[in-house]
Structure formats: structure tokens, C-alpha cells
């Protein structure tokens, strides 16, 4: 994203010094007054910072990086309930003035890349969640199937020190460049055999099975705490039949909880997101996001303030509706073969992981008022299948991504008018070491907004978005039907508001008209996004014009007809 292109320059240690003394990448035409703002960082006291009103958000983030060490791309700034997501916009564009407080949310990657080197020079790479311990790494080594990998024979050395099994990865390595040295400790047995008056001593390397309990591979688990933990689907309509993939996910999550493997809170994100574990405790299988832990909801664990007007972190969304939107993105991600009917194909055209609304009970969730076992402490939220990944698009240059993988996400984001498509919300997977890269879109809690003010698409800056859709994608786009989609969501229990329905009608219309004219995802996506915070996007202009054209009290159909005509005129000009 834009932050990637910022040049780093050292600045004064003290954030409250005059902005004229500090040296960020400022607007050359910057003039006007300096103001004092305050940064609220969870776990720290309020930090004063002097800025100019014409400073860019990027420059403020850069100063926070220089003084506090939080890398720019891991920072999220929130002011007055809104994320300051446009790096090139200015402090004054967001209405920030003297004495205001900016909330800083720091995203820390959950995964560490660890290289394990054997004595004979073999290397293995593992992506390990930072909350795991050394024994977990050993189990991953054992699972490679190599003979030296037997768990009980392993010794891991880092920085000249043998690592204790209980040590946590985060405490051992802060970056992705850690190399653990694997020493295979063959235990030996000394046997003595009497030969006349002497003894023959023989030293025998023990076979793994002789070395005790092969159940070492099993995770030691706490006793299952019975009904103190629970998870079950929440269906908006009893007629909805859950697909097998979701039923399997729910069974696996319940088995993990009952075995005593707690949900593990992610260190990333602005809301509470919890990794659900399987029966063995070796695998994450799902991500649970409770609605009351969304940004600005009452139990948000990241220190964000409570929303005063109910509006979410992005304009046109509502606090507490993130889970609905997550599930809607899955339901609307129809497979290539046709409308999602919830009976056969699990993954849709854009690859949104299977997602379902659930209620879940566990003491690890964030309860400000304290936790007691019982029905009132059930949390409702979305459960999404965990996707094994090797990182997200923030960690890799976009050129490596296959065009079709990018296009399938463009189609989804345009349809859903996504207001939160940054590179961290696209996971990268690949089959084997050399297989082609695949992209998996996640985090759809801010799609289908009531208006287009905050639409942002990271892929607008990627070269693939300037290439035309292929014919398969165009056919898919032409098969979309907003009316049917709204009915499908209603069948699942979510009746879209008039505003959100309108959004879906407009985006589907735009996508279809654009694809007919062979416009690229970039051409179409740019129509939905503002270039700067205060300059309306083309779609907003079209809506204004339509509003001024139709008579007061005209029907929604008349309004949409007007949108259609204005859109045709604009797109025809664009495609000349
Ligand atoms: N389906 C999934 N499979 C694997 N990892 C996931 C999945 N969904 C989310 N994650 C990971 O969980 C963490 C938190 O998730 P996410 O970013 O969606 O939370 P959030 O609070 O909604 O974030 P944001 O601040 O970007 O809106 C991230 O590290 C993300 O990569």
C-alpha cells in the first residue's frame, strides 16, 4: 500500500517537539498552525505529539515509527471512531484539531518464520504462531517424517543455548530470521554381558520405540471442562441446511474446546479474533470473531473507545454487524457453477473461506464485566475456516500474484463495495514449496456499507488490475443478480437495509456494465473509490445526479433506472 513507498528518515526522539524541527515527508505547500494531538497506545500513557494540520497521515505514522518503533504498515490510527486509512490524506482532512486524541492500534504478525537446520545441512522452514512453544516446533519437525525428526531425540539450539520445551516462540525470536539448530540426540543403552570373569560392554543406540511412550506426540491436555465450553451454529432460518464443510468445522471446534484447547487470541487486527484449535491442539481450524469484541463494541480488547453513534470503524457500517457481513460475503461468493445453494460446492469463485454465525462459550474471551459460566456469557460471532497460509499480501511484492487470483478478489470487492481491502486481508497459500501462489480473501466485516465513502481497494495499485477480465470471469459477472442475492441473504436471516440493498444493486450493475464494455478491474474499481478523503468518487457523483433527477417520492426502481442511464453515459465516455 502507499505506506510501503515511504522513505525512512530519523527524527527527533520527542514527539512533542515543534514539527518544524522534525523531518517527515511533509506536504511541500504545508503552512498554517501547528497543533498538539495525543496518541492513545494500549498499555501506555497518553503520548503528546505536535503536528501541522497539513501533515499527511503517512508522515504522522512515520514519526510514530521513528520514536516508538512501531513499523508504519503495522499501525492503524483511529480518530473519532474512524480509521485514518488514507495515508496521503492530511490531518486537517480528517477534521483533527488541537487537543484531539488519536488511538493507535498496533498489528503484530501472528506468524514467525523459523528455519531449522540439521547437522548435515538440511534446512526446513516453518511458519509458527508466536504464542506456540518450542515443543510445538519439535512436533512440526517430527511431522516432516524424517527419521531424525523423532520428537524424543530432538534438541533445538538457538543462539548457542538449548531451548527448553516450554519456551514461547515470541520470547525467543522477534523477527522472521531465526535459525534453530537441530541436534539429534540418540539415546544409548549400555549393556553388559558376563564373559567368564570379565564383562563385555556394548553401547546400543536406542530405537525410538524403546525410548518410552510413543504418545509423546500427543499434546498434554487439561481435563475437558465439560459444558463450560460450547460452540453451535446460529441459524437465522431453521430451513437453512449447513454444508458438510461447516458441520465438520463446528464438530472439530467443539472437540478442540472440550479437549481443553482454548481459543487463542490473535495479536493482529483491531477486533477480538480467536484461533480455534482442533482435537489434538496441533492445528488451528477456525477463526472466531465475537460481535461484542468488534472495534468500538463494548468488549473490544484493543482499547478502542466505545462508538457513540453506533457507526463502525468504516463509514456506512455498524458496530456489531461485522459477523453478519463476514457470513454474507461467504454466502454471496457463488461458485462458478452457479448460485450458492449451500448444498454442494464449498468454495466460491473468489475463494472466501467457509463462514458461519455461531455462539460460543469460553472463559478466555474478553468480558469487561467479568466472566461466569452460563448462557448469558455466550458470545455470538462469525466462525471462519482457518486457512493455512505462508503470510499475507503485505509481505510480498504484488507482481508475483497470478492475474486470475487478483481478479477474483477484484470481483468480490467491487460487488461488496468492500471498505477494508488492504493487503493484510489477503492471505497467500501455495501447494508445496514450488506450487503457484493462491490468494485467499479474508476479513469482510466492512463490506456492503450503506454508502461508498470509505471504499478502498489495495489491488488498484497492482498491475494485474489493469489487465482485462478473461471470458470465464466475464460470464461469471454476467450471471450475478443483486435481487437474487438480497433474497438469498434474507433466506439466511439477514434482511439488508434499504441503503445496503441499494449498494449491492449499484455495484452489481456497475460490474456488469463495466465487464460488458471490457473495462479493467482498475477502471471499474476507481469509480468506487475516492482519490482523497474530501473528493467524492465518481459513483457518489452519479448517485447525487440521480437523486437530483428523480422526483421526490419516486420509487426505488425509478431511482435505479436513473442511475443506470447516468452510469451508461459515463462508462461510454470512459471506454472510448
Ligand atoms: N480464515 C483465516 N485463516 C487464517 N488466518 C486468519 C483467517 N481470518 C483471519 N486470520 C488472521 O487472524 C488475524 C486477525 O484477523 P483479522 O485481520 O481478520 O481481524 P480484524 O480485527 O477484523 O482485522 P482488521 O483490523 O484488519 O479489520 C490476522 O492475523 C489474520 O491474518
pLDDT tens track for 352-366: 999 999 999 999 999
Q: In this model, does residue 22 exceed pLDDT 50?
A: no
| 430-451 residue pLDDT tens | 987 788 999 999 999 999 999 9
Is 115 strand, coil or helix? strand
Rounded-to-integer distance, Cα 520 and Cα 466, Å: 6
Rounded-to-integer distance, Cα 421 and Cα 162, Å: 42
| 241-262 residue pLDDT tens | 899 999 999 999 999 999 999 9
Q: State percent of the chain over pLDDT 70.
A: 82
pLDDT band at residue 227 using 50, 70 and 90 as cut-offs: low
pLDDT band at residue 372 using 50, 70 and 90 as cut-offs: low
Atom of ligand 1 lying closest to residue 275 CA: 12
Sign (positive/negative) of CA torsion 432, 437, 442, 448?
A: negative
Pairing of strands 154-158, 75-79: unpaired
Mean pLDDT, to the nearest integer, of 452-479?
97
Mapping DSSP onto H, E and C, the string for 384-452 reads: EECCCCCCEHHHCCHHHCCHHHHHHHHHHHHHHCCCCECHHHEEEEECCCCCCEEEEECCCCCCCCCCC
- The answer to whether 298 and 310 are in contact (CB under 8 A) is no
Q: In this model, does residue 190 exceed pLDDT 50?
A: no
| Average pLDDT of the residues of the chain | 83
| 84-122 residue pLDDT tens | 988 888 998 899 999 999 998 877 667 777 888 876 667
Pairing of strands 75-79, 101-106: antiparallel
pLDDT given for residue 3 in this prediction: 34
pLDDT band at residue 12 using 50, 70 and 90 as cut-offs: very low
Expressed in angstroms and rounded, the spacing between residue 233 Cα and the centre of ligand 1 is 20
Expressed in angstroms and rounded, the spacing between residue 113 Cα and the centre of ligand 1 is 18
Rounded-to-integer distance, Cα 406 and Cα 440, Å: 10
Closest Cα to atom 10 of ligand 1:
287
Residue 207: left if φ>0, alpha if ψ -120 to 50, beta else—which one?
beta
- Gyration radius from the chain CA atoms: 27
Closest Cα to atom 20 of ligand 1:
269
Expressed in angstroms and rounded, the spacing between residue 15 Cα and the centre of ligand 1 is 31
pLDDT given for residue 176 in this prediction: 73
Rounded-to-integer distance, Cα 64 and Cα 73, Å: 11
For residue 102, the cross-strand partners are 39
pLDDT higher at 114 or 373: 114
Atom of ligand 1 lying closest to residue 313 CA: 27
pLDDT given for residue 376 in this prediction: 63
Expressed in angstroms and rounded, the spacing between residue 500 Cα and the centre of ligand 1 is 24
pLDDT given for residue 352 in this prediction: 97
Rounded-to-integer distance, Cα 526 and Cα 180, Å: 46
Q: State percent of the chain over pLDDT 90.
A: 52
Mean pLDDT, to the nearest integer, of 264-293?
93
pLDDT given for residue 205 in this prediction: 39
- Mutate which of 267, 270, 287 for ligand 1 pocket (most atoms within 8 A of beta carbon): 287
pLDDT given for residue 261 in this prediction: 94
- Mutate which of 442, 445, 458 for ligand 1 pocket (most atoms within 8 A of beta carbon): 442
Q: Tell me which long-range contacts 255-260 makes (C-beta under 8 A, separation of at least 24).
A: 255/279, 256/281, 256/285, 257/229, 257/230, 257/231, 257/362, 258/224, 258/225, 258/226, 258/229, 259/221, 259/224, 260/221, 260/222, 260/223, 260/224, 260/225
- The answer to whether 445 and 325 are in contact (CB under 8 A) is yes
DSSP annotation of 492: T
Q: In this model, does residue 523 exceed pLDDT 90?
A: yes
Mean pLDDT, to the nearest integer, of 376-380?
84
Mean pLDDT, to the nearest integer, of 7-16?
42
Sign (positive/negative) of CA torsion 168, 169, 170, 172?
A: positive
Residues with CB under 6 A from ligand 1: 110, 266, 268-271, 273, 287, 353, 384-387, 389, 392, 420, 424-425, 427, 442-443, 445
Atom of ligand 1 lying closest to residue 387 CA: 3
Rounded-to-integer distance, Cα 329 and Cα 353, Å: 9
Residue 402 corresponds to which cell in the numbers above? 497470478
| 42-84 residue pLDDT tens | 767 788 899 998 899 999 999 888 877 778 878 889 998 888 9
For 203-217, 303-317, 483-497, 532-546, which range has the lowest pLDDT when averaged over its residues?
A: 203-217
pLDDT given for residue 208 in this prediction: 36
pLDDT band at residue 30 using 50, 70 and 90 as cut-offs: low
What interface predicted TM-score (ipTM) does this complex get?
A: 0.97
Q: Which of 281-285, 311-315, 562-566 has the highest mean pLDDT?
A: 562-566
Burial label, 483 (beta-carbon count in 10 A; 0-12, 13-18, 19+):
exposed
pLDDT given for residue 199 in this prediction: 41
pLDDT given for residue 545 in this prediction: 97
pLDDT given for residue 351 in this prediction: 97
pLDDT band at residue 1 using 50, 70 and 90 as cut-offs: very low
Mean pLDDT, to the nearest integer, of 487-506?
95
Closest Cα to atom 13 of ligand 1:
268
Atom of ligand 1 lying closest to residue 353 CA: 1
Q: What is the pTM of this model?
A: 0.74
Pairing of strands 101-106, 34-40: parallel
- The answer to whether 363 and 260 are in contact (CB under 8 A) is no
Q: In this model, does residue 191 exceed pLDDT 70?
A: no
Expressed in angstroms and rounded, the spacing between residue 439 Cα and the centre of ligand 1 is 14
Q: In this model, does residue 151 exceed pLDDT 50?
A: yes
Expressed in angstroms and rounded, the spacing between residue 487 Cα and the centre of ligand 1 is 28
pLDDT given for residue 215 in this prediction: 25
- Mutate which of 297, 346, 418, 443 for ligand 1 pocket (most atoms within 8 A of beta carbon): 443
Closest Cα to atom 1 of ligand 1:
386
Sign (positive/negative) of CA torsion 85, 88, 89, 91?
A: positive
Closest Cα to atom 18 of ligand 1:
443
pLDDT given for residue 169 in this prediction: 86
- The answer to whether 135 and 154 are in contact (CB under 8 A) is no
pLDDT band at residue 163 using 50, 70 and 90 as cut-offs: confident
Closest Cα to atom 6 of ligand 1:
386
pLDDT given for residue 75 in this prediction: 86
Nearest Cα residue to 11 out of 53, 57, 69:
69
pLDDT higher at 164 or 31: 164
Expressed in angstroms and rounded, the spacing between residue 466 Cα and the centre of ligand 1 is 27
pLDDT higher at 407 or 202: 407
Amino acid at each position: 500500500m502507499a505506506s510501503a513507498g515511504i522513505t525512512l528518515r530519523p527524527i527527533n526522539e520527542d514527539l512533542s517537539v515543534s514539527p518544524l524541527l522534525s523531518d517527515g515527508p511533509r506536504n511541500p505547500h504545508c503552512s498554517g498552525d501547528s497543533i498538539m494531538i495525543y496518541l492513545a497506545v494500549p498499555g501506555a500513557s497518553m503520548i503528546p505529539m505536535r503536528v501541522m494540520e497539513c501533515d499527511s497521515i503517512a508522515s504522522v505514522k512515520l514519526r510514530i515509527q521513528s520514536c516508538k518503533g512501531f513499523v508504519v504498515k503495522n499501525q492503524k490510527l483511529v480518530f473519532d471512531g474512524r480509521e485514518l486509512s488514507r495515508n496521503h490524506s492530511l490531518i486537517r482532512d480528517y477534521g483533527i484539531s488541537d487537543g484531539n486524541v488519536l488511538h493507535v492500534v498496533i498489528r503484530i504478525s501472528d506468524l514467525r518464520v523459523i528455519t531449522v537446520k540439521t547437522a548435515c545441512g538440511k534446512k526446513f522452514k516453518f511458519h509458527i504462531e508466536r504464542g506456540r512453544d518450542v515443543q510445538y516446533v519439535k512436533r512440526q519437525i517430527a511431522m516432516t517424517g524424517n527419521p531424525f525428526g523423532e520428537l524424543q531425540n530432538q534438541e533445538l539450539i538457538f543462539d548457542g543455548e538449548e531451548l527448553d520445551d516450554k519456551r514461547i516462540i515470541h520470547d525467543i525470536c522477534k523477527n522472521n530470521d531465526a535459525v534453530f539448530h537441530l541436534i539429534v540426540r540418540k539415546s544409548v543403552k549400555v549393556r553388559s554381558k558376563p564373559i567368564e570373569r570379565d564383562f563385555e560392554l556394548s553401547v546400543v543406540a536406542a530405537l525410538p520405540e524403546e525410548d518410552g511412550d510413543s504418545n509423546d506426540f500427543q499434546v498434554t491436555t487439561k481435563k475437558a471442562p465439560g459444558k463450560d465450553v460450547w460452540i453451535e451454529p446460529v441459524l437465522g432460518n431453521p430451513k437453512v441446511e449447513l454444508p458438510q464443510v461447516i458441520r465438520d468445522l463446528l464438530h472439530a471446534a467443539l472437540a478442540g474446546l472440550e479437549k481443553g484447547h482454548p481459543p487463542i487470541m490473535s495479536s493482529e487486527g483491531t477486533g477480538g479474533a480467536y484461533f480455534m484449535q482442533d482435537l489434538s491442539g496441533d492445528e488451528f481450524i477456525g477463526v472466531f470473531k465475537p460481535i461484542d469484541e468488534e472495534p468500538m463494541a463494548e468488549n473490544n480488547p484493543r482499547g478502542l473507545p466505545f462508538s457513540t453513534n453506533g457507526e463502525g470503524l468504516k463509514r456506512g457500517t455498524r458496530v456489531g454487524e461485522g459477523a453478519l457481513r463476514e457470513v454474507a460475503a461467504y454466502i454471496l461468493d457463488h461458485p462458478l457453477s452457479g448460485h450458492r445453494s449451500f448444498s454442494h460446492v464449498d468454495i466460491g469463485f473468489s475463494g472466501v473461506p467457509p463462514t458461519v454465525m455461531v455462539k460460543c462459550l469460553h472463559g478466555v474471551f474478553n468480558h469487561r464485566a467479568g466472566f461466569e459460566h452460563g448462557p448469558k456469557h455466550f458470545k455470538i460471532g462469525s466462525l471462519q475456516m482457518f486457512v493455512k497460509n505462508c503470510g499475507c499480501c503485505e509481505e510480498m511484492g504484488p507482481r508475483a500474484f497470478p492475474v486470475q487470483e487478483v481478479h477474483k478478489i477484484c470481483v468480490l470487492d467491487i460487488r461488496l463495495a468492500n471498505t477494508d481491502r488492504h493487503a493484510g486481508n489477503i492471505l497467500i497459500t501455495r501447494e508445496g514449496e514450488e506450487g503457484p501462489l493462491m490468494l485467499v480473501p479474508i476479513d469482510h466485516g466492512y463490506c456492503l456499507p450503506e454508502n461508498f465513502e470509505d471504499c478502498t481497494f489495495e489491488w488498484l495499485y497492482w498491475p494485474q488490475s489493469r489487465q482485462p477480465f478473461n471470458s470465464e470471469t466475464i460470464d461469471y459477472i454476467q450471471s450475478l443478480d443483486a435481487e437474487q442475492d438480497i433474497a438469498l441473504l434474507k433466506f439466511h436471516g439477514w434482511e439488508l437495509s434499504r441503503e445496503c440493498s441499494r449498494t449491492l444493486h449499484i455495484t452489481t450493475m456497475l460490474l456488469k456494465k463495466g465487464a460488458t464494455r471490457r473495462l479493467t478491474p482498475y477502471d471499474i474499481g476507481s469509480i468506487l473509490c475516492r482519490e482523497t478523503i474530501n473528493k467524492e468518487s465518481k459513483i457518489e457523483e452519479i448517485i447525487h445526479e440521480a437523486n437530483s433527477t428523480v422526483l421526490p417520492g419516486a420509487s426505488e426502481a425509478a431511482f435505479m433506472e436513473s442511475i443506470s442511464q447516468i452510469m451508461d453515459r459515463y462508462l461510454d465516455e470512459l471506454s472510448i
